[in-house]
C-alpha cells in the first residue's frame, strides 16, 4: 500500500527551480528518508505535501486522496521547524496547549511523554531541557492524536551525538509500532541507520529512489558501479593467474596475503567462487564488501559539493 504518491512536482521561486519534476511513492509502514545536501529542495518538498507551500506544477495524494489542509494536519504528525514551545511552561503544559491547538490528543499526553522518555520531566520547564529533550518533546507533540503518519524535517539538526542517538532510537521505536515515518535529512549516517527506503534529491532533481538495502547492494543492476571483493587461497599466485581468464575482473591487488578485487557489477561472490573451484582452486576466504550509503551517495550525486 502507498501512503504518499508524488507526481511531477515542480516548484519555482522566481528564476530558481527548487524542485524539478519530482515523482516517487512512499510505501506504508516504512521509514522513508528524503536525502540531499542543504538547499537540495527537501524542505520545499515537505512543505508542499503538508499543504504549507503550493507547487508550481504536479500533484500528490495521501492514501490515494487529496486531503484538505486542516484534515491533513489532523491525520499526520509533523515536525517541520525548530520546536516552538513556551520556555517558562512545563513539558506537560506545553503539550496541553499543543493539543488544544490541534483540537485533539489531550488524553494522549501521559502516553506520548512516556514514549519519548520525558515522563519523569513532565513538570520541568522547557527552558531547562537539553536540545535533545526539546526535540523529543516536539516529537511528543507530533504524536498527539496517535497519527499513523509522521513527517519530520531534519529531526536531529543541531544535536550532539548523544541527542542524535536518542532521536534515532525513538524513530526506530515508532517504526516498530507501525508508524510510517517520512524524514528529510542531509546526514548520511542517520539515514543509513534508521531508514528502510530513501529518495536522493540534488538541486531539486530526484536522482534515485529505492529501499536502502537495494541502494547499497553491490549487485544492483544498471548502475555501472564496481564491486569490491576480498578473497584468499593457499596459492594466491595461482588465483591471480586464473582470474586473468574471468571477464569482469577489473583489477587485482594483493594486500596482507589477500587479493582485493574490483569487478564489474555482473560478478557475484557465488560466480567467483564457482569459477575458481572449476579451475582447481579452493578459496579459504571470500567477502563481498558492502557499500556504505556515503559511497553510494557520492556515486549517484558526484563528488563535488552543490555549493
Q: What is the pLDDT of residues 254-291, one digit of tens each?
A: 888 889 888 877 788 899 999 999 999 999 999 887 66
- What pLDDT score does 291 carry? 63
- What pLDDT score does 73 carry? 67
Whether 109 has a pLDDT exceeding 60, the answer reads: yes
Helix residue spans in the chain (DSSP H): 42-49, 69-75, 91-102, 109-115, 131-143, 161-176, 188-194, 212-215, 236-243, 269-278, 293-301
Judge contact between 212 and 198, C-beta under 8 A: yes
Whether 199 has a pLDDT exceeding 90, the answer reads: yes
Domain boundaries for CATH 3.40.50.300 within the chain? 2-215
Q: Judge residue 105's burial from the number of C-beta atoms within 10 Å of its C-beta, 0-12 exposed, 13-18 middle, 19 or more buried.
A: buried
Range of lowest pLDDT (36-50, 71-85, 195-209, 230-244): 71-85
Q: Return the DSSP state at 216.
A: T
pLDDT tens string 132-146: 899 999 999 999 999
Backbone phi, psi, residue 145, to 5°: 90, 0
- What pLDDT score does 306 carry? 53
Confidence of residue 123 (pLDDT cuts 50, 70, 90): very high
Query: What residues form DSSP beta bridges with 209?
Result: 199
* Higher local confidence (pLDDT), 213 or 242: 242
Q: Does domain 2-215 have CATH number 3.40.50.720?
A: no
- What's the whole-number mean pLDDT along residues 70-77? 75
Q: Does domain 227-290 have CATH number 3.30.70.100?
A: yes
- What's the whole-number mean pLDDT along residues 162-174? 90
- What's the whole-number mean pLDDT along residues 57-79? 82
Whether 219 has a pLDDT exceeding 70, the answer reads: no
Highest average pLDDT, of 79-83, 92-96, 255-259, 282-286, comes from 92-96
Whether 223 has a pLDDT exceeding 60, the answer reads: no
- Closest by CA position to 34, among listed 47, 15, 16: 47
- Closest by CA position to 174, among listed 148, 156, 155: 148
Domain boundaries for CATH 3.30.70.100 within the chain? 227-290
Please, what is the average pLDDT of the chain?
88
Amino acid at each position: 500500500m502507498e501512503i504518499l504518491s508524488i507526481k511531477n512536482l515542480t516548484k519555482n521561486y522566481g528564476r530558481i527551480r527548487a524542485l524539478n519534476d519530482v515523482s516517487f511513492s512512499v510505501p506504508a509502514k516504512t521509514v522513508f528518508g528524503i536525502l540531499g545536501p542543504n538547499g537540495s529542495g527537501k524542505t520545499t518538498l515537505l512543505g508542499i505535501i503538508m499543504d504549507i507551500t503550493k507547487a508550481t506544477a504536479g500533484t500528490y495524494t495521501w492514501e490515494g486522496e487529496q486531503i484538505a489542509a486542516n484534515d491533513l494536519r489532523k491525520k499526520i504528525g509533523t515536525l517541520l521547524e525548530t520546536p516552538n514551545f513556551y520556555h517558562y511552561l512545563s513539558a506537560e503544559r506545553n503539550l496541553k496547549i499543543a493539543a488544544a491547538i490541534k483540537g485533539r490528543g489531550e488524553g494522549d499526553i501521559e502516553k506520548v511523554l512516556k514514549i519519548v522518555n520525558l515522563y519523569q520531566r513532565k513538570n520541568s520547564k522547557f527552558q531547562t531541557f537539553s536540545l535533545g529533550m526539546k526535540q523529543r518533546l516536539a516529537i511528543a507533540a507530533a504524536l498527539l492524536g496517535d497519527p499513523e503518519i509522521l513527517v519530520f524535517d531534519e529531526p536531529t539538526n543541531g544535536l550532539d551525538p548523544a541527542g542524535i542517538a536518542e532521536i534515532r532510537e525513538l524513530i526506530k521505536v515508532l517504526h516498530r509500532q507501525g508508524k510510517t515515518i517520512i524524514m528529510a535529512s542531509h546526514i548520511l549516517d542517520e539515514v543509513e541507520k534508521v531508514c528502510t527506503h530513501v529518495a536522493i534529491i540534488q538541486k531539486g532533481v530526484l536522482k534515485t529512489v529505492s529501499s536502502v538495502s537495494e541502494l547499497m547492494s553491490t549487485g544492483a543492476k544498471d548502475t555501472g558501479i564496481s564491486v569490491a571483493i576480498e578473497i584468499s587461497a593457499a596459492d594466491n599466485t595461482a588465483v591471480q593467474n586464473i582470474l586473468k581468464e574471468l571477464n569482469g575482473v577489473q583489477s587485482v591487488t594483493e594486500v596482507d596475503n589477500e587479493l582485493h578485487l574490483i569487478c564489474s557489477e555482473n560478478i557475484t561472490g557465488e560466480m567467483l567462487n564457482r569459477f575458481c573451484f572449476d579451475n582447481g582452486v579452493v578459496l579459504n576466504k571470500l567477502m563481498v564488501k558492502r557499500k556504505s550509503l556515503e559511497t553510494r551517495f557520492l556515486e549517484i550525486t558526484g563528488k563535488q559539493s552543490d555549493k
